Amino acid sequence: MTSIRRVITGHDKAGKAIVLSDGPVPTVHGNPIRPGQLSFEVWKTHATPAPIAADEPEPTTGPRSLQPPRNGTVLRISVVPPETEETRRLTPEQARELFRKSGAGDASTYGRGGRHPMMHRTETVDYAVVLEGEITLILDEEEVQLKTGDVVIQRGTSHAWSNRSGKPVKMLYVLIDGDFAPELDGKFWTGGE
């Protein structure tokens, strides 16, 4: 997959609904956490409620960030390559460095309670949809096999996505900025009690 068509609607000067843009997603990032992964940044909001203007600048430009903007959202489609032995052999320090390169160095929980090199936790609610393929959701003590059409509501938990299928998996994510409740804040490095 090398492009995704994105249609953006808006308003003309008279307030009528129009197509503002129809073409490929302009912002595509490689992912330092997973070599070979492509992340198509489809849309991003920077506030809630999201301001709706007749036209606005492209919101997806800039460096890739694992998390959405404060009080914002990100719609992302990712093509996740099969997991490699190299990934499974990462040290906690190497995993944290990869997450740092993705703008979220503190998100890595590997070696601090997380049992997989890609384990991480962000202060977000994420809607994850398997568009094509099979992938494994890894949690602190459980794993869930997911297939095309399955949906995960990930609520600020330490987790990883492991593609053990041998084929690329296409995922859609909606990441929504959030705040940990006081009883959860600070417990994620060790799993807390």
Q: Which of 19, 21, 72 is nearest to 50 (CA)?
A: 72
pLDDT in tens, 64-117: 888 999 999 999 999 999 999 999 999 999 999 988 888 887 899 998 878 999
- In angstroms, rounded to a whole number, what is the distance separating the alpha carbons of residues 98 and 95? 5
Strands 151-155 and 5-11 come out as unpaired
Q: Is the dihedral of CA 174, 108, 101, 179 positive or negative?
A: positive
The full set of domain ranges for the chain reads 20-49+58-177
- Say yes or no to pLDDT of 164 above 50: yes
- The correct answer on CATH 3.30.950.10 for the domain covering 20-49+58-177 is no
pLDDT in tens, 12-59: 888 889 999 999 999 998 877 788 889 899 999 999 999 888 888 899
- In angstroms, rounded to a whole number, what is the distance separating the alpha carbons of residues 193 and 186? 11
- In angstroms, rounded to a whole number, what is the distance separating the alpha carbons of residues 136 and 134? 7
